[in-house]
Structure 1
Amino acid sequence: MPTLVIFVALAIILAILLAVIVLLPWLRADKSAQNNQLIALNVEVFKERLAELTADYSSGKMSEIEFNTQKTELERQLLLASEDKNKVVLNESEQNNDLSKVAVSKAQRELQVTRSGKARLTILVCVPVLIVLGYFLSADRSSTVQFWQAQDKVGQVADDLLTGKIDAPPEWAAEDTAGLMAAIQANVHHHAHDAQRWMRLADIYLAFEAIDPALEAQARAYRLTPEDEDVAVGYAQTRFFASGGVLDSSSRRALQTALQQNPEHQGAQMLMAMGEARAGNYDLAQAWIVRLKESISQRDGDHSAALNSLDELSANIRQQAADAAQSTQVSNQADGESSVVTSEPAINTRTIMVRISIDDKLAAEVGNKDTLFVSIQEQAGGAPLAVKRLQAADLVNTEQGLQVSLNDDDAMMPTHTLSSAMNDQKSLVAKARISKSGEAMSASGDLIAVDTTVDYLDTDQPVIELNMVISQKLP
């Protein structure tokens, strides 16, 4: 049965029950109306008997004391015959009054109380109807209805995807992408303690390049099962690439947890090597590479390709260490005109030189703690081929723009380089963004430049020059 029908039926039943409970005292049958004839008869008998007592007293057949006693008893009997359950309290002055008037007045009031059966039925029907109309007319419920319809249509497909029963949704389910995603998200939240569902949700987000929600999903999975090495490494890897190749405290802690569970985990060792190299800890990075090569060599089969890749990474780290040492030497030999002297990295096979400037209207919004990210990546998407992280204030302080060089030394992965992409004639784009938070992930308020296509196919020049202007602000 559709969810909308179930909801409406339950809402109507609940409204009727509430109306019955609230109106129950008012809907009770009026017993006094059923006894109207009996009360009228009792009043007539009381009047006749009182007339007889009055006649006997007037003729002297009874004394005044006897008359008052029998009159009081007669009035008490009339009051007891009525349906009034309240206790009648009479003081001394009321005992001297004519109680027959009290009894007659009470009987007349009860005769005046009437209730309409049509009025009861009208209220009993109108209350639930008004509640339902108020629910649907007070606000736009179309999104809720669409969600229920998606749950009925693709709810099972979402569960099969998240439990690994199927790898891809059927064509008919993939046509409604928004409905399928809503069903997937609802399924994950209904099984909030299942870490694997959170990880599969993160994989779906990554397929759509939604980095922020993917990281959040993986963080939830890691908090649920920190002892699961695959979950820990997956979470650390996403944070590593999302932060521009920086191994922050969260990703480092996740990798250390995974290595405690499995000291020979190759993915964790590779991430530690690249993270230490990016942080300038070249000796530690080389140590991780040696450990990784030993682990691979002990496995059966031909691993020459992986070992060669590690040799390239090791050579790249040695070159970075040499460049850092040269930069330090030049800085120490400076004549004091500048406290910090930097040297341009050595040009590898291909280098892209990007000159970045900023629109004057946005320059005032750049703070001293803002971070400038410049990257080159494939137009089809994926991890950057080369990325640099700089101080955004340097961009504002220069009049001719900031010149940034990107080459294989700025690669995040040894096998995912700028030169290899150019050799494969991949379509490349350059990106530039000023981050307010210092994170590599885009956020509201960041300042960006329009993506610029890297035109290199018709030239053999080792250096490709580009100009970019940061002129937009993310809403």
Structure 2
Amino acid sequence: MTPLWIAIALLLLPALWLLVAPMREARALRDKLSHFEANDTADEQNVAIFKRRLASLEAAHERGDIDEERFKEDRLELERSLLEDTATRTKRPLKTATAGRLVVPLFMVAVVGASTFWYQQKGAEGDLTLYAIQQEVQNDPEGSLAMYLERMEAEAERQPNNPNVWSSLFPLYRETGQADKAADALERLIAIEGRIPPLLAQLAQLRFFMAERELTPEVQSLVDETLAQDPRQPTVLGLLGIHAFDSGNYETAIDRWRRAVANIEDPDTASSLREGIRVAQERLGIAPETAAVDAAQSQGVRVTVSLDEALADNISDDATVFITARDTEGELPPLAVIRGQVSELPMTVVLDDTAAMSPDAQISQVREVRLIVRVSSSGQATPQPGDLFGDVESVSVGPISENDATAVTVNRIFE
């Protein structure tokens, strides 16, 4: 942490210099003001103007242009104006050039103290400490997972409100077989970050396996809470697929796993789920090659997706491709979603009921769909400025043909 504080000190030096700089010019500025006041002739000019106006007023009175009463009123107004001009120009004595010098060091100390306090409250000192611990353990010849875990536990006592501490401890406990501690770490993280679907889903999954793959009331409550916020949460859908498979309900398992695959980002996890789908299909006595067609009753859309060459340099090969079918009225949730990567383009996919995110919104329920293809560098499901996209407004839904595919070209940028 020493280099960090040295860097902070170096950043504070220019700020402290700016506080001192005005004091260096104080004597020269006072001399200029003194010279200006000594040679200021504004009062003499005001008196000269008063005399000229008074002489003009007296001449008008002598000529009979104004009577005695008007003459007295106008003269009184001139005298009042002269008094106001000279009174407002009364100046306070200039202070010495050294006045206020003692306040500057106090203010400098206050700036340093406030900056340090603000960084300790809002800065990333705690996260830098976690990074330093990781590097120390990695570079230590005797470094081990146990050593890293011990150091992180000590840091958790010093930083109990840092979410990154608990997000690091949770997988460490899980990998070392300390399920109870992993659950406690995850609950601490949820208490800090809030009850958001990804964290609730991980806690539900952990409790599920701790209960020997049983949907206990606690697990069911976590599942319900997660799906209420995000019906497409892949971790929970995968968990429900496992439970259905263990119960011999292979059709439900296939449905849950397919929906999970449509929304999952980790390719290894997606591959495992696809293998589970294959095994479930075999248990049902359905050949994997025909199971998808039978389940969807051959109703859907075959889509060929390509990327406009003019936009090829705007996106990386590992960016996520979302291929979505929506009802033409835009009243239902997405009817089918398939993920891919730019490196796979051009690609041909089938959008049918196996790619549905909800049994209540499936592509076989409509006659026409709008196809939307979006390419996202962030991988987020919500469109972001800078994403690439292409669409086709109206495509008929019907029996899927090997030789009939709708072409969608990604050729625009989302603003």
TM-score, length of structure 1 as denominator length:
0.34
| Larger Rg belongs to | 1
Normalization by structure 2: what TM-score? 0.38
